[in-house]
Structure 1
């Protein structure tokens, strides 16, 4: 039984954590295989959790296109890896139950997810949202520096504007900055989020442990981060519909990577 299943009176003391271990590139392949297995085993949960992001993407796209400011989708798409990890919280619980042989009871899974509001995950969510909002602010600033302040309210997106001259330089620089934000938040959450669900620790300890895990496995984690970014981008291209499959598989796989890193 995970600490998230215990009553509050039994979760008063923090857990002792092992030092993060080493993983290999083959562990990524294994984790993805297990992630696909978990998604096929419980597709309803994956589709339900990822549907919120698909609907959110549609809503943002509708607002952007209706206002004639569809270029605003660019910082959202570049910044999506910042907020995607939070979608996986419910998927971690599904994978944990499959791993331990516990029943996939919908009410219990939803209860575990809902009870996280009394633990440390809301604090981690605030860190994620603040970084995402800061990224959006930086994206606005970069756009204004290259295209002019007036362009923020008058420009309409076209290939002629964004794919030549200053527009192209702006896209390259913005992508690099967005990648930096994503790398920081990846380091915070790749182990930190599943750790908060699985163990009784504060979110600062979870962030530190996650950063240590990334530092111990820098090459492998860099490959994993690149795979996540590429697959999320590909999933967004077909009207966000690819997220219905990509998000659940990556979420489940992230749980198995966490388990291997914190196997001690």
Structure 2
């Protein structure tokens, strides 16, 4: 008999000595609420080690990383191309910046690759993609909705600032738009406010998703609990986590400059590293 079985048997024996109402109350009490995941404080060293492990995962399974990175880069190119096709090319930069907000959702497949390597489970496309496909029945879909909602808010505030700062004028070319925002006081104010609001939204989304996506993939918890756990992780280690958020933003900006091509490599490394950082932050189940 295992230790758990012995403990369970002892509990049942003890329960027989109590009255029926007390037994029912004792049995019902644990079912009221599951304990929330516990978080640990992390340091810059933990983040550096997570990045190293992320690089190792990418080197060990490069095809998976390159495939998800290429998919992400192709999505960015498609969004920008659609903006020019629709005659709103001046929104290409805000769209590209906002597209970076969708990275945590796209990286779910990379979390699964790291999880399988950590558990010693053989990698296969059917296994990785099958796990992602199964998430449609779980809470991860709601987190994807939260991510898309923040992206919509980002684009809405861009259009609002354009109307407030630059009026209702339309820009026929990207060059005309760049000339206005870089050579006029109104344009400078638009850039300043836009980047401040964008940084705030990025920090909010980072706080909501840095732990929640890998947590939902790894455990059976609801998306609200996952978001609360993610925010608690940032609050517990504010300086290292905000520094990590800033590093992610800078890496994504640099990677997106050469036609999004850098994202093919940067996204996989960041995705794998995020999984290993999650392992350091959230205390494993007993």
TM-score, reference length from structure 2: 0.83
The runs of 5 or more residues in structure 1 that have no matched partner are 1-12
Matched, 1:145 2:160: no
For 2:137 and 2:124, how far apart are their aligned partners in 1?
21
Alpha carbons of 1:177 and 1:38: their partners in 2 closer, same or farther (altered >3 Å)? same
Q: Choose from 41, 63, 69 the match for 2:88.
A: 69
| Cα shift at 1:63 | 2.5
Match of 2:47 in 1: 28
Higher relative contact order (CA 8 A, sep 6+): 1
Confirm or deny: 8 A CA contact 2:80 2:96 kept in the other structure: no
Give the Å deviation of 1:67.
Answer: 4.5
Q: Which segments of 5 or more consecutive residues in structure 2 lack a partner in the other structure? A: 1-31
Counterpart among 200, 203, 217 of residue 237 in structure 2: 217
Equivalent residue for 1:6?
A: none
User: Contact (CA 8 Å) 1:28, 1:257: kept in 2 or not?
Assistant: yes
1:113/1:224 CA distance change after superposition, 3 Å? same
Partner-residue secondary structure (3-state), 1:163: helix
**Alpha-carbon contact 1:15-1:201 (below 8 Å) kept:** no
State which of 127, 134, 158 in structure 1 corresponds to 2:146.
127
2:222 pairs, out of 160, 182, 202, with 202
Asked if 1:242 is matched to 2:262, the reply is yes
Higher Cα radius of gyration: 2
- Scaled by the length of structure 1, what TM-score is found? 0.90
Q: For residue 52 of structure 1, report the CA deviation from its aligned partner.
A: 2.0
Aligned position for 1:111: 130
- Take 1:147 and 1:203, find their aligned partners in 2: how far apart are those partners? 39
- Structure 1 residues 51, 14: CA separation in 2 closer, same or farther (over 3 Å shift)? farther
Distance across 2 between alignment mates of 1:14 and 1:191 = 21
Quick one: distance in 2 between partners of 1:189 and 1:14? 23
Root-mean-square deviation over aligned CA pairs? 1.8
**By how many angstroms is 1:148 displaced?**
0.9
Secondary structure of 2:173's match?
Answer: coil
The number of equivalent residue pairs is 251
1:165-210 per-residue CA deviation (whole Å, 9 max, x = no partner) reads: 2112211210110111111110110001100000000000000111
SS of the counterpart of 2:276? helix
